[in-house]
Structure 1
Amino acid sequence: MESPARLSAIFVFLFVLVGALVCTRLLNSSTETLISTTSSQVPVLTTKTSQTSPNKTGQIPQNPSSQFEIPLNCTAYNLTTTCPSNYPTTFHPEQDPDRPSSPTCPEYFRWIHEDLRPWAHTGITQDMVERANRTANFKLVIVNGKAYVEQYEKAFQTRDTFTIWGILQLLRKYPGKVPDLEMMFDCVDWPVILSGDYDGPNSTTPPPLFRYCGDDSTLDIVFPDWSFWGWAEINIRPWETLLKNLEEGNKRSKWLDREPYAYWKGNPTIAEHRQELMTCNVSDQYDWYARLYAQDWSREAQEGFKRSDLASQCLHRYKIYIEGSAWSVSEKYILACDSVTLIVKPRYYDFFTRTLMPLHHYWPIKYDDKCRSIKFAVDWGNSHKKKAQAIGRASSKLIQEDLKMDYVYDYMFHLLNEYANLLQFKPRIPQKAIEVCSEAMACQAEGLEKKFMMESLVKGPAVSEPCSLPPPYDPASLFEVLRRKESSIKQVETWEKNYWKDHEQS
């Protein structure tokens, strides 16, 4: 039997233990209430870390498959107007045995090597970078995982804003993985680094300049365009959201139930070849099997963009893509529709379109004989319905599977890594540059600009590493890709020539 004194000691110990457990539960409850109250007042994303051992070192937990979010604290930023100093700086998903395996990147990633080939043997010096500022809108510098921008000239609308925003989201997705670098970015449509200026025996090495598109006569480095994070001026939502909407809209009508015509809607006033396209519209005299509509963006803005829903425009068996003043961001929206994309012979390419193959992903349309070429394409597709449907499905599959937002970030990641590897100098923060972060941009934004930033915000690091970059093309394989494209286009031209020859004789 226990003594009375020992029984009293045990009773006191149990009382203290129960009291401690109750206090701990109350403390946790109060902490959760505080977080909930804060998040209801400002757009704060809570970080799932231990309450007793908060993450002070900027290192992400060893098990990245568990939920981890980087907070966007507008309350703190508005008080100090300085970027947070506790952003994560290291990330090691390879240490997680349960992490998803990284796939090989899509085929179009191989063009990264081609775009950087002009500097493969010389590297990139500080002088080369500075020479690119002649037309650049801004210089972006990344040092120790932080971004700094020196603005030269404001871009049209919010192109530069959402381009910089996209790069900041890349830093949130892969913290500590993007190396130090300096880059010049030009947000204007037309590429300007002419290859002919740098191919002589005494010529200098071209300046590296990033922009949204290129062509066969220029050396500009192509980069994903601003609209992947939203185009506020015309109410186009960020790509991750829009891609889901396009997939849903695509399912609303089967290909065979769609209008058996070629559809295009856009602004025809910005380019002569678009005005030429409008002459292919149906009239009292003739039907070229095209249904073309001029878009008045000013009127659309006044009416709330009620007739500009991209997900509701998959109603025709064929959709036309034609460049504007240069390349157009509309191409990815058109290709996502299951309709056969009729591409009027383009001059420009963006970062992913060089992987498109005629007769597999799209149908080529002549630049200098648009109306007759469109009529033949529609007539052929309506007479070969299974083959036409296969072309439409191939393009929408490529967009849904190979152009999802994770791959857009991975393309940016690999391009910037390969570019940084070529730098022959140590990147430094310019005196006139300012530090930019998600808080500095989103907390001060308003309207659709703020809405799209919050919608496209990368909430935390990826749970796996980027996809594996495929090797560069060897000369023979690159030649074969180009040969196949040319052969397919010539095949269509032959069919079209015979088609009109038969029509003229009958």
Structure 2
Amino acid sequence: GALFMSEFKSRSKWGDSKRWYNAWALLELLETYPGQVPDVDIAINGADEPFIGSQELFRVGTKPDGRAIKGLRPWNVSQARSPPPLFSVCRDANNVDLLWPQYNIWGMDWTGMGMREPPWCVQFPMLRRTWLRKGITHRPGKLFWRGQLKSNPSTRGAMVRCRTRLLPKAGKRRIDVEVNGVVIRKGGGSMPGVSTRGGKQVSASARCNAKYLLHMEGRSFSLAQLPQAGCGSLMVMGPHRYYTPIERAYRANGFFLPVQLPVYNPGGDPRAVVERGACENVSAAITWAESKAPGGGADASAAVAAEAAAWTELELS
């Protein structure tokens, strides 16, 4: 069979290398299961967004100026009878792409970011040693998320504001947030309570010191869940727009603590009350997770984290 990958011209630090890391996943599959992978053509979408809609977009007529008039119809009544099998790194409720693992963050030198992560086959045993050496009940109740503010400033910045402004003003428990590459302090310009001054990047192993790891999407999906899954921490997740292979498994098995996610709104906007309410929801969820299970013993979070760790070791090692 032949491999087809879409062109994806990117001005990011990764350049066009995402396509080759998608191909790397296929090469690993062929080497791991020799002779067992069907000899068929494979098409991989190299963009961040899914492509195949849940219904077929087809031409129903022509406008007087020659432009096409298009409509939607279910795939089972289309000429193709089924959607074309296209693999993508993520999907959402409106698309039916087949999920494909994304490898582009492992073994790459992130120029200018002060860190270099080894391949997953090397990284995972290191993360596993961390969680075995320092179990979740012995870690400080700190909430950590990995990501850049600019990827999703309204939500990611609002989470920082939970700690610096909203919860303290409400007299609620403060969330001890640690953020990758961002210095948390009061102040900030366009978003009060959020400093945009850069901070030191935190390695995959160092993230495992946190008891709670917050998974938040960026402009589209987030790649952070793979390294976070290897920490033995409790994943904290809000509503989603996109699925990746790992996120789908986490949600289907209940390996996470569900929370609302705040969204920053400028002062005077009545939706700011919603932002504060979401912060209080996250605080309440962490408070519950820190509570003792009935009859004493481990925190309520320990059982969920243990199930997730067992699945991770079985499926992702």
Q: TM-score, normalised by structure 2?
A: 0.69
The Cα offsets for residues 126-180 of structure 1, whole Å up to 9 and x where unpaired, read as: xxxxxxxxxxxxxxx44xxxxx667644466221112212322333333343332
Task: Select the residue among 72, 75, 93 that pairs with 1:216.
Answer: 93
Partner SS state of residue 210, structure 1 = strand
Looking at structure 1, the residues matched to 7 and 135 of structure 2 have their Cα atoms a distance apart, in angstroms, of 49
Looking at structure 2, the residues matched to 204 and 275 of structure 1 have their Cα atoms a distance apart, in angstroms, of 47
Evaluate the alpha carbon distance shift between residue 366 and residue 177 of structure 1 in structure 2; reply closer, same or farther with a 3 A threshold.
same
Q: Give 1:249's aligned residue.
A: 130
Residues 1:266 and 2:147 aligned together: yes
Looking at structure 1, the residues matched to 137 and 6 of structure 2 have their Cα atoms a distance apart, in angstroms, of 51
Task: Select the residue among 361, 382, 406 that pairs with 2:255.
Answer: 361
Task: Answer yes or no: is the 8 Å Cα contact 2:145–2:213 preserved in 1.
Answer: yes
Residues 1:199 and 2:107 aligned together: no
Looking at structure 1, the residues matched to 77 and 176 of structure 2 have their Cα atoms a distance apart, in angstroms, of 51
Partner SS state of residue 245, structure 2 = coil
Q: Give structure 1 stretches of 5+ with no counterpart.
A: 1-140, 143-147, 297-304, 405-506
Looking at structure 2, the residues matched to 228 and 372 of structure 1 have their Cα atoms a distance apart, in angstroms, of 33
Residues 1:395 and 2:308 aligned together: yes
Q: Give 2:186's aligned residue.
A: none
Partner SS state of residue 162, structure 2 = coil
Looking at structure 1, the residues matched to 310 and 141 of structure 2 have their Cα atoms a distance apart, in angstroms, of 21
**Correspondence list, 1:79-478, <5 A:** 141-142=1-2, 152-154=7-9, 157=14, 158-197=17-56, 198-199=73-74, 203-205=78-80, 206-227=83-104, 230-233=107-110, 235-271=116-152, 272-283=154-165, 285=169, 287-295=173-181, 307-357=201-251, 360-367=254-261, 369-384=277-292, 385-404=298-317
Looking at structure 1, the residues matched to 233 and 316 of structure 2 have their Cα atoms a distance apart, in angstroms, of 17
RMSD value over aligned CA atoms? 2.9
Looking at structure 1, the residues matched to 134 and 25 of structure 2 have their Cα atoms a distance apart, in angstroms, of 33
The Cα offsets for residues 318-348 of structure 1, whole Å up to 9 and x where unpaired, read as: 2211111122111122232222211122121
Looking at structure 2, the residues matched to 184 and 293 of structure 1 have their Cα atoms a distance apart, in angstroms, of 37
Question: Letter of the aligned partner of 1:378 in structure 2?
Answer: I
The Cα offsets for residues 80-116 of structure 1, whole Å up to 9 and x where unpaired, read as: xxxxxxxxxxxxxxxxxxxxxxxxxxxxxxxxxxxxx
Looking at structure 2, the residues matched to 273 and 204 of structure 1 have their Cα atoms a distance apart, in angstroms, of 42
Evaluate the alpha carbon distance shift between residue 203 and residue 274 of structure 1 in structure 2; reply closer, same or farther with a 3 A threshold.
farther
**Correspondence list, 1:53-64, <5 A:** none
The Cα offsets for residues 262-313 of structure 1, whole Å up to 9 and x where unpaired, read as: 22232121113222222222456465324142526xxxxxxxx974321122
Q: Give 2:187's aligned residue.
A: none
Which deviates more from structure 2 when the two are superposed, residues 225-234 or residues 175-184? 225-234
Looking at structure 2, the residues matched to 313 and 226 of structure 1 have their Cα atoms a distance apart, in angstroms, of 19
The alignment-based identity, stated in percent, is: 22
Partner SS state of residue 281, structure 1 = helix
Evaluate the alpha carbon distance shift between residue 294 and residue 150 of structure 1 in structure 2; reply closer, same or farther with a 3 A threshold.
closer
Looking at structure 2, the residues matched to 342 and 203 of structure 1 have their Cα atoms a distance apart, in angstroms, of 41
Task: Answer yes or no: is the 8 Å Cα contact 1:228–1:239 preserved in 2.
Answer: no
Partner SS state of residue 181, structure 1 = coil
Partner SS state of residue 356, structure 1 = helix
- Bigger relative contact order, structure 1 or 2, given CA contacts below 8 A and separation 6+? 1
Looking at structure 1, the residues matched to 157 and 108 of structure 2 have their Cα atoms a distance apart, in angstroms, of 24
Looking at structure 1, the residues matched to 252 and 281 of structure 2 have their Cα atoms a distance apart, in angstroms, of 14
Looking at structure 2, the residues matched to 278 and 341 of structure 1 have their Cα atoms a distance apart, in angstroms, of 18
Task: Answer yes or no: is the 8 Å Cα contact 2:260–2:278 preserved in 1.
Answer: yes
Evaluate the alpha carbon distance shift between residue 223 and residue 268 of structure 1 in structure 2; reply closer, same or farther with a 3 A threshold.
same
Which deviates more from structure 2 when the two are superposed, residues 180-189 or residues 342-351? 180-189
Residue-pair matches, total: 251
Partner SS state of residue 380, structure 1 = helix
Question: Letter of the aligned partner of 1:222 in structure 2?
Answer: L
